Amino acid sequence: MRCSALVLATLLLGCRMSELDAPIGIVMRDLSDQDAENLVESARCWNLELGTQFVVGPDEQQVEAFYDKFTCSHGAAAQVQAGWPMRIAICPQEYWVTDQEPFRVLSHELGHVANIIGHPDNSLAVMRSGGYPFTPMFTEVDRQMFADANPGFAGVDRCDGVVRRAVRPGTNATIGHCVCDREEPLDLDQSISIVLGGYPETYVSRFQAALDCTNLRYGTQLVLDDSASTPQRAYVRPPGTDSCDGARKRLQEHGTVYVCSPASNGSTLFPYVAIGEVLGIWLSGNWITDDPELAKLGRAPIGCTDIVRDEVTGVCMCQQ
């Protein structure tokens, strides 16, 4: 059933705004590129976790997103109103009276488009303010409210582990991001590009040396590269730039890996830990323990096995 009544009437009558068994087209009217991308990413996260079918562009049922100053006067960053089409009215950001991220705001509003009414007590729920990066994006109460609002809906192509990230790489920290976290072995016979961000130059040079040593010993093709679009890429950031609260964490979506790893304490061996996070194993820079770890990935020392490492620079030389 499609409702053309007011939101208030919707609340009072229990009328559902959307039929989730069919696609819901998102039509963006004059949104900035940044807000449009945040909305698309928010929709992707709902599709991943709950199996909704938000699509970009017109469809039989659709929601229109646009800027609306009237919404600002209520003290809201955005709101959803029922009708045909449904509408997401977004207060232009210059009028936002509280410090909020567009991705969180728009993720929240899509929950209302998906028939969720009201807000839970849990402030980490998407239907409140949302949680921390590198933690599950949707909380149990989000899932429960969604199930209550859409009884019998099973969803398609759902991912059990949608994890929130602070920003999508390459977007200058303006677009939110979520990842369907699934561990899959990387192909060590293929190149793996590693993009470092937010580390001091001294750490980058030690990281480069550790990559070179790893490639020398195991014949891998780990490269520091922030431009090539290789199928296998790893984004490595320190906690401050990705808000992952200081702990090392790893997420993987197909061939793309996201690692949150603290900067070096000055040791030339420290970058090996981050490289291990990229590969999904525990590395220390000690070949005696690292060889068995690489063996888990089916990779024996196929390059140089007699390596001497400069303990100051971390640079390796092959003695053979």
Partner 1 sequence: MRCSAVVLAIALTSSASSAEPAGEPNRVVVDGAQELGVVSSTHSMLTVSYARRLWQQRLYAEARLGSGYAYDLLETVGLGVLEVRLGAGVVLRRDRRVEVRIGWRVGDTYLHGSLNEQPFGLHTFAIQLAPTVAVRLASSWRLRITPVAPTLYWNQTYAGSMGLEAGVEYAL
**Cα-based torsion angle of the residue sequence 272, 273, 277, 279 in order, rounded to the nearest 10 degrees:** 30
**Cα-based torsion angle of the residue sequence 128, 53, 178, 232 in order, rounded to the nearest 10 degrees:** 180
Applying the rule CB under 8 A, the residues between 127 and 166 that interact with partner 1 are none
The piece of 70-78, 200-208, 293-301, 311-319 that touches partner 1 (CB under 8 A) is: 70-78
- Token look-up 């061996």 returns 269
* Separation between Cα atoms, residue 220 and residue 234, nearest integer Å: 14
Q: What is the per-residue binding string for partner 1 in 26-65, x denoting contact by CB under 8 A?
A: ----------------------------------------
CB of 258 to partner 1, least distance (A): 33
Binding-residue total with partner 1 (CB under 8 A): 21
The token duo for 191 is 């190149």
CB of 143 to partner 1, least distance (A): 27
CB of 27 to partner 1, least distance (A): 14
Instruction: For residue 170, give Cα distances in angstroms to 214, 227, 229, 247.
Output: 27, 10, 12, 23
CB of 6 to partner 1, least distance (A): 6
The correct pick among 38, 71, 220, 252 for binding partner 1 (CB under 8 A) is 71
Alpha-helical regions (H) of the chain: 7-13, 33-50, 69-72, 102-113, 140-149, 201-218, 239-242, 270-279, 287-296
The correct pick among 28, 72, 162, 244 for binding partner 1 (CB under 8 A) is 72
* 69 sits near partner 1 (criterion: CB under 8 A): yes
The piece of 5-13, 33-41, 166-174, 247-255 that touches partner 1 (CB under 8 A) is: 5-13
Q: Which of 97, 132, 99, 126 is nearest to 113 (CA)?
A: 126
Name the residue nearer to partner 1 (CB basis): 117 or 204: 117
Applying the rule CB under 8 A, the residues between 79 and 108 that interact with partner 1 are 79, 81, 87, 89, 94-98
Q: What is the DSSP letter of 44?
A: H
CB of 16 to partner 1, least distance (A): 18
* Separation between Cα atoms, residue 83 and residue 107, nearest integer Å: 20
Strand-pair category, 24-29 with 61-67:
parallel
Name the residue nearer to partner 1 (CB basis): 79 or 205: 79
The piece of 75-83, 181-189, 251-259, 295-303 that touches partner 1 (CB under 8 A) is: 75-83
The correct pick among 6, 154, 228, 318 for binding partner 1 (CB under 8 A) is 6
The correct pick among 73, 123, 190, 286 for binding partner 1 (CB under 8 A) is 73
Q: Which of 273, 274, 279, 247 is nearest to 183 (CA)?
A: 279
Name the residue nearer to partner 1 (CB basis): 69 or 296: 69
| Chain centre distance of CA 160 | 14
CB of 70 to partner 1, least distance (A): 5
Q: HSE (CB half, 13 Å, CA atoms) of 74? A: 12
Which residues are at the interface with partner 1 (CB under 8 A)? 6-8, 66, 68-75, 79, 81, 87, 89, 94-98
